[in-house]
A and B are shown apart, each in its own frame.
Chain A
Amino acid sequence: AQTVTQSQPEMSVQEAETVTLSCTYDTSENNYYLFWYKQPPSRQMILVIRQEAYKQQNATENRFSVNFQKAAKSFSLKISDSQLGDTAMYFCAFMKQDAGKSTFGDGTTLTVKP
């Protein structure tokens, strides 16, 4: 079974600054995907960024980037130029390549302060 651990229950950052959210996971699989999702108070989970485990290059989506360390089973999310709208709960998730089930961490609540 896979496990996903987010060790930071809460974080805060000043607007326009950079913040990094941590995630570690445990699996015996070799082919899998990792995700970061954002969940604002509206409850709707939104995909932020995705990383294929077979790719060495770290994924980037505008202000969001990841630091994927496969050997260390670490998958951190960096948010640059933080905006007030980034305030939300962020979840790290794991999915085997051909399986429908995702395993989520317990989330990090991020507050961006003006």
Chain B
Amino acid sequence: GAGVSQTPSNKVTEKGKYVELRCDPISGHTALYWYRQSLGQGPEFLIYFQGTGAADDSGLPNDRFFAVRPEGSVSTLKIQRTERGDSAVYLCASSFLGRADSPLHFGNGTRLTVT
């Protein structure tokens, strides 16, 4: 079927605004991950869902960041009071089991620019 879909592909917002980034995982994949990738760096883990619940949210940098996955499929990453330092590519990935022997499938990312 279709791969992991992320919308929008690009988002420009002003400092202080609220943004939502959406991720549509591969159908049937129980695990969903959010990563943040700054320019010239590797992806940095934010949060991991197994089904509807956040199994590990240790990577969320502060309480301005929040993610949900209410029905165990689509996930939304929400950023409040955006700051220029939040500018990055936000990557979403899904996998069938959420274990290391189940490959990650990544989306194309959302490039967030905070002006």
A46 on interface, CB distance cutoff 8 Å: yes
Q: Closest residue of chain B to A33, judged by CB?
A: B100
How many A residues touch B, CB cutoff 8 Å? 26
**A48 CB, nearest partner CB in chain B, Å:** 11
Chain A residues within 8 Å of B44, by CB: 104
Q: Is the CB of B48 within 8 A of A50?
A: no
Of listed A32, A98, A101, residue having the most chain B CB within 10 A: A101
In the complex the two chains form, is B100's CB within 8 Å of A103's CB? no
* Binary CB contact string for chain A from 23 to 48 against chain B (1 if under 8 A, 0 otherwise): 00000000011000000001111110
Binds B, one of A62-70, A72-80, A89-97: A89-97
Query: Which of B43, B58, B101 is within 8 Å of A45, CB to CB?
Result: B43
Residues of A within 8 A of B55 (CB): 100
Give the shortest distance, in Å, between B35 (CB) and chain A (any CB).
8
A43-B42 contact given A32-B100, A96-B100, CB 8 Å threshold:
no
CB-based contact A102/B101 at 8 Å: no
**A43 engages B104 (CB within 8 Å):** no
Q: Which of B11-19, B63-71, B78-86, B105-113 contacts A (4 or more CB under 8 A)?
A: B105-113
Q: CB-defined interface of A45-58 with B at 8 Å, one 1/0 digit per residue?
A: 11100101000000
In the docked arrangement, what's the CA distance between A42 and B101, Å? Answer: 26
Other-chain contact of A100, B31, B91, B106, B107 (Cβ < 8 Å): B31
Q: Which of A44, A46, A98 has the most CB of B within 10 A?
A: A44
Pair B109/A107 contact, Cβ less than 8 Å: no
In whole Å, how far is A83's beta carbon from the nearest beta carbon of chain B? Answer: 22
- Residues of chain A at the chain B interface (Cβ within 8 Å): 4, 32-33, 42-47, 50, 52, 91, 93, 95-107
Q: List 15 A-B contacts (CB under 8 A).
A: A33-B101, A44-B108, A44-B109, A47-B103, A50-B103, A91-B43, A97-B99, A100-B31, A101-B56, A101-B58, A102-B33, A102-B43, A104-B35, A104-B43, A106-B41
Given contacts A46-B106, A97-B101, A102-B43, 4 further A-B contacts (CB under 8 A): A4-B42, A47-B103, A101-B45, A101-B59
